[in-house]
DNA sequence: ATATTATATAAGTAAATCATTATATGCTAA
DNA sequence: TTAGCATATAATGATTTACTTATATAATAT
């Protein structure tokens, strides 16, 4: 009935982070694929610094990790996070976002980071 | 694997609401008991209007319902909400808050609303 | 070396958020 | 009807948020 529980204050911090359409969508996307910043920039209609700031917040909270690959930085879900079970659980209530990846591919914008 | 899903924008709105320590705690408390505003006022160290504003937000989002009982207004979880499954799911990751009720009773502050 | 591309950081700003105090409303009880 | 309690609403202010533009850093390619 009760999974291992998270301090309420920490949970509130995490939920506030996810209470933003852009970051929530990012996380759901990362649930099926890794993404680089430039892809996020193409997908969301905001500036590159805005995207950098969003991923930074997710990273500071320990929700995502980054790996450099050449000049690109690839972000991925951090499955080791203590709040990963909660996040994962949440994600199951959200619609799949793979269509965004498909749109990218149709526009030939996915190739860039490979 | 996938429960019936909620539009991402709506989910973000709900999560933003829950991304506040006071409201998140309220919801977790309402998961086991109904509460009136005056009890919340005793429990949280904020003014009565602050509490009213928090419960109003929860009510506007359809997360809680209210019933008047004499001069008191009792708030309860709205289990009919389309986002109730998500909320319920979240609650399972949070520590039980019944000790707050016990504290109230020890101070003799619970009687007031009965 | 220099230019180009990807990303991060800094600085500034408009809007949103969460509290407060003051006041209004609504029920109850004398 | 008036007093008192519970709750809601209004007005205000400090803080936070999420963007923007400008600039810095880091890797790649010529």
Q: What is the pLDDT of residue A4?
A: 82
Strand D contact nucleotides, protein CB < 7 Å: 4-11, 17-22, 26-28
Q: Is a pLDDT exceeding 70 seen at residue A10?
A: yes
Least confident of A3-7, A27-31, A76-80, B80-84: A3-7
Q: A41 to each of A36, A45, B16, how far by Cα in Å?
A: 9, 7, 23
| Per-residue confidence band for B2, with pLDDT thresholds at 50, 70 and 90 | low
What does the pLDDT average to over B73-96?
97
| pLDDT tens readout for residues A98-112 | 999 998 888 876 655
Q: Is a pLDDT exceeding 70 seen at residue B113?
A: no
For the A8-105 domain, the top CATH level (class) is mainly alpha
CA-CA distance, B66 to B59, in Å (whole number)?
8
| Per-residue confidence band for A56, with pLDDT thresholds at 50, 70 and 90 | very high
Cβ distance of B3 and A93 shorter than 8 Å? yes
The answer to whether domain B8-113 has CATH 3.50.50.60 is no
Q: A77 to each of A36, A55, A113, B11, B61, how far by Cα in Å?
A: 12, 11, 18, 19, 29
| Per-residue confidence band for B108, with pLDDT thresholds at 50, 70 and 90 | confident
CA-CA distance, A96 to A93, in Å (whole number)?
9
Cβ distance of A93 and B15 shorter than 8 Å? no
CA-CA distance, A51 to A108, in Å (whole number)?
20
Percentage helix, strand, coil, to 5, in chain B? 55, 10, 35
Least confident of A2-6, A28-32, A49-53, A76-80: A2-6
Q: Is a pLDDT exceeding 70 seen at residue A1?
A: no
What does the pLDDT average to over A85-95?
97
Asked if A37 and A47 count as a contact pair (C-beta separation under 8 A), the reply is no
- Give the domain ranges of chain B: 8-113
Average pLDDT along chain B: 93
Q: A45 to each of A40, A50, A58, A90, B42, how far by Cα in Å?
A: 9, 10, 19, 24, 45
Q: What is the pLDDT of residue B104?
A: 85
Instruction: Return the percentage of chain B with pLDDT > 70, whole number.
Output: 92
Asked if B6 and B82 count as a contact pair (C-beta separation under 8 A), the reply is yes
Sequence-distant contacts of A98-105: CB under 8 A, at least 24 apart: A98/A32, A98/A33, A100/A25, A100/A29, A100/A43, A101/A29, A101/A33, A103/A43, A104/A39, A104/A42, A104/A43
Q: Does B99 touch chain A (CB under 8 A)?
A: no
Cβ distance of B11 and A89 shorter than 8 Å? no
Q: Is a pLDDT exceeding 70 seen at residue A22?
A: yes
Q: B78 to each of A41, A67, A114, B31, B62, how far by Cα in Å?
A: 38, 43, 47, 10, 7
Asked if B54 and B94 count as a contact pair (C-beta separation under 8 A), the reply is no
Q: Could you tell me the distance in Å between the CA of residue A42 and the C1' of nucleotide C3?
A: 24
What does the pLDDT average to over B54-68?
98
Beta bridge partners of A67: A74
Q: Does B91 touch chain A (CB under 8 A)?
A: no
Q: Is a pLDDT exceeding 80 seen at residue B111?
A: no
């Amino acid at each position: 009935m009760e999974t291992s529980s998270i301090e309420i204050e920490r949970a509130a911090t995490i939920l506030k982070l996810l209470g933003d359409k852009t970051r929530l969508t990012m996380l759901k996307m990362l649930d099926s694929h890794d993404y680089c910043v430039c892809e996020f920039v193409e997908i969301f209609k905001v500036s590159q610094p805005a995207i950098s700031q969003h991923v930074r917040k997710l990273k500071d909270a320990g929700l995502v990790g980054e790996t450099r690959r050449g000049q690109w930085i690839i972000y991925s879900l951090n499955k080791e996070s203590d709040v990963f079970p909660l996040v994962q659980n949440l994600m199951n209530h959200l619609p799949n976002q793979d269509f965004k990846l498909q749109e990218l591919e149709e526009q030939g914008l996915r190739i860039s980071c490979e």
